[in-house]
Structure 1
Amino acid sequence: MDVLKCEREKETKFDVNQTNICWVVFALTIINKAGGLIYQKDFADGLNKLSINDYLVLAGTFHGVHAISARLNPIPPPHRPSSTSGNHTKGLSSLSSLSSSTPSSDDRPDPPSGIEVLETTLFRLQCFQTLTGTKFLLFTEPGMPNVESILRKIYELYADYVMKNPFYQIEMPIRCERFERGVERWVRGVNMR
């Protein structure tokens, strides 16, 4: 009902400079590193209702497309070591080549990321991938600001309540009441702004 109220408010506003625009988080989906659905929660109406089988297909499909798009990422040009002057002795030049062959933390390329944002006229899908390969997909209204910070907060809740839970088995569906309450409370606060 609040979503309809926000939609009516948006339709009646013509001044772009007004600051009381309603933003809505529609849903959260969490996919494990193998592409399996481990968590799905709808927070507001606005997207089509899907069956659990549809969500499983969505998770697997997004995982595959994400992996392919990460491989299609353009390759950065190779790093060329700086040339040395000709007055070095042979021992020093071999030592120099040894040190230049060892990559420093600055020389390492960023790992390819895959799809991060998919935006349509009706919704925006933002993906946050952890270092372990778990993907957090947040469905919001298009143009919603600070989606990355919302995802980071949800990831913090995941780390605190799911990963620190001694009864949780990694890569399995999330059944943690404290996590669900925390996410529900956080997203409800975002949707009320």
Structure 2
Amino acid sequence: MSIQHVFIISKAGSLIYSWENKVNESISVEKTYEWPLDLKLSYIDQKATVVFGENDKVKLRYTISAINSINVINGKFMEDDEEKDLLTYLEDKKNYPLTLTFNSPQLTANEKIILSSMFHSLYTIAAQVAPTPKSYGIECLETTQFKLHCFQSLTGIKFIAVVSESFTQSVDGLLRKIYEIYSDFALKDPFYAIDMPIRCEKFDDALNATLEKYENTSAVTI
């Protein structure tokens, strides 16, 4: 899917809703390596993670899920009925060649909260240092792999969409549509309190339908 993430951030900077594309969640990359290994790995949250030396297929923050088709759990794997540490194993020349399976990174709930708060701060700074008055802060951030678009409502709620380079539809139009859905299904829900996490089935259904529509339209355009 071209739409990768959707975030809604409250006026105070807290994350109140997030949606992520689950289609590519299980994507993995398998590659055979000779000695010496041209990747720098480090344990992050007990997972062997790429921190330096990315290439066309294996990117930064990719984690190793298997070695020679043997599952790796918390940096450990079994070989000849013996538990072995992955990084120690990779440092031994006699173990090569070997095949590693990498999984693409997935944002944890805690990471989403941290990134939302960080973006809120950057947005505020951008609005304050702008040379023109009444600046709306960050509207678009572009990288080599994705684009991040932001729309802020008059009440200070931020609607963010992270899309791939292949997405051809108007992201501003998508964000405004999400704002309409938020107004119709979240704010009008008698059990919903403003600036609190959104827990509304009708909101979820309407958002999913809208994202699917935009995704299909983008695919047809391509």
TM-score range, shorter chain: 0.5 to 0.7
Cα distance, 1:192 vs structure 2: 1.8
TM-score, reference length from structure 2: 0.59
1:42 maps to what in 2?
20
Percent of matched pairs sharing the same residue: 40
State the SS of the aligned residue for 2:131. coil
Higher strand share: 2
The amino acid of 2:122's aligned partner reads V
Q: 5 Å matches for 1:28-177?
A: 28-43=6-21, 44-45=23-24, 48-75=105-132, 111-142=134-165, 144-177=168-201
**Structure 1 outlier segments of 4+, above 2 Å:** 43-48, 142-145
**C-alpha offsets along residues 107-129 of structure 1, whole Å, 9 cap, x if unaligned?**
xxxx2211110011111100000
Distance 1:146 1:75 in 2: 25
Specify the SS of the correspondent of 1:166. coil
The answer to whether the 8 A contact 1:28-1:136 is kept is: yes
Gaps of 5+ in 2: 26-103, 218-222
Q: CA deviation at 1:75?
A: 3.5
For these two proteins, the number of residue pairs brought into alignment is 137
TM-score scaled to structure 1, two decimals?
0.67
Structure with the bigger RCO (C-alpha within 8 Å, sep 6+) is 1
Task: Output the aligned Cα RMSD.
Answer: 1.6
For 1:175 and 1:45, the matched residues in 2 are separated by 25
| 1:189 Cα offset (Å) | 1.6
Uncovered stretches (5+) of structure 1, i.e. residues with no partner: 4-23, 77-110
3-state secondary structure, aligned to 1:140: strand
Rg (Cα) greater in structure: 1
